Amino acid sequence: MADYDYDLFVIGGGSGGVRAARMASQSGAKVALAEESRYGGTCVIRGCVPKKLMVYASGFREHFEDAAGYGWTVGKTRFDWNAMRNARDAEIDRLEGIYKNNALEGNGVETFRARATILDEHRVGLVGGEEFTAKHILIATGGRPRMLKVEGMSLGIVSDDIFHLPELPERLTIVGAGYIACEFACIFNGLGSKVTLVNRSPNILSGFDKDVQDMVADEMQKKGIDLMLGTVPVALTDLGGQGKRLICDQGKTIDGDAILMAVGRVANTTGLGLENVGIELGKREEVPVDAYSKTKVDSIYAVGDVTERAALTPVAIREGAAFVETVFKDNPTKPDHDLIPTAVFTQPEIGTVGMTEAEARDGHDIEVYRESFKPMLHTLSGRDERVLMKIIVDKADRKVLGVHVVGHGAGELIQAVGIAVKMGATKEDFDATVAVHPTMAEELVTMKTPVSD
């Protein structure tokens, strides 16, 4: 190892890269990390964390309204975009400092605030001209938003830009209907914007259970979000100080102060120098890796959203840790991508783990247990909002194949449910568990009769 400047050079300072760099350094390796933007990556800087803070901010309008049903008198309320943005950004600055100073430099990792490029199997170059050698190179550059390829697309913004808007848009048009699009639709609707969501397919939240799709779509529309599904965007135009116009097929147009393109993400591999080592990218511009996160080049690995695996922060962290176990601790470890609990912070929230009903029917003889009801919270508030609980069971071995929840706190709930499903719990294990009453979650252990099989 003495022949190299570093035992490990990490490119990318997001969750996966930072975890790998810290753990490798703690194991005794000499480690460096280069990040061209901000430490913390998509999750901390322009994704999960600032978005969740905005979810909280957007929920207060309904809290104020619901309080009246419980005897509270709430005075006139007003939302201050700048106050929220400043408080949010101060928290992001604090977290970035923790990533850089505590997780990295505090554990002996040398950091470079610069763009890095792979020059060959063991050599990395920085944008300033410096070059370093490393026994192992880890690519952890994450992903970036994909732009819609239509005329005038430069007039739109992407999710990275949404956090830097100078003011709250009165009218926001969102193109796309995945979880990012739906989360921002709910956030800005809650903050007071008039939101229109446009999607070429007839459903929102592709890949989620159909009952979840339908329930969330219904609730979004109840809250005033205009869903234009089965509508194809064809161009964007500037209205000259009066906002932007999205032109769609069938002669439809939507005017807004901003147009958010939320049509998916691609791996952040542009200009990384992978052609120098013969690594060919996949269809999403991702880095192909094996079960141990190794590329076709023995010295080069990749973790996180830059690969074609589950694009989730906790997954990137697990992959980074497994990489260190494999390469620096002589303990070959495959990251486990099976039965990953997932939350979507729409309003109401989604919590899901395991198979959808459609996936389960393809190869399993199943029973479906489902309940939809008004939660206790809204018996006095009067709000017309419902909850969905759904369990999918394999008839043969009685194992729970999937659980899907829509309702307040679904993200918190699914973390605990995910443990049971991961352990192979059966429907009878759920039934044998005493209900916590009165809670929304007790329905998961009291549903006795399948609605379909």
- Cα(415)–Cα(436) distance, integer angstroms: 16
Q: In this predicted model, which residue has the larger pLDDT, 326 or 147?
A: 326
With a CB cutoff of 8 Å and minimum separation 6, the contacts of 71 are none
Q: What is the pLDDT of residues 293-344, one digit of tens each?
A: 999 999 999 999 999 999 999 999 999 999 999 999 999 999 999 999 999 9
- DSSP line for 215-254: HHHHHHHHTT-EEEET--EEEEEE-SSS-EEEEEGGG-EE
Q: What is the pLDDT of residues 177-222, one digit of tens each?
A: 999 999 999 999 999 999 999 999 999 999 999 999 999 999 999 9
The tally of CA atoms less than 13 A away on the side-chain side of residue 91 is 14
What single-letter DSSP state applies at residue 413?
H
Residues labelled catalytic: 437
> Among residues 265, 256, 263, which one has the least CA distance to residue 236?
256
The chain-wide mean pLDDT, for the chain, equals 96
CB of 114 within 8 A of CB of 129? no
- Cα(248)–Cα(180) distance, integer angstroms: 21
Q: What is the pLDDT of residues 82-128, one digit of tens each?
A: 999 999 999 999 999 999 999 999 999 999 999 999 999 999 999 98
For the chain, domains (ranges, CATH) are 6-144+266-328 (3.50.50.60), 153-259 (3.50.50.60), 342-445 (3.30.390.30)
Structure tokens at 85: 């943005």
Mean pLDDT over 232-261 rounds to 95
Q: What is the pLDDT of residues 58-92, one digit of tens each?
A: 999 999 999 999 999 999 999 999 999 999 999 99
CB of 294 within 8 A of CB of 132? no
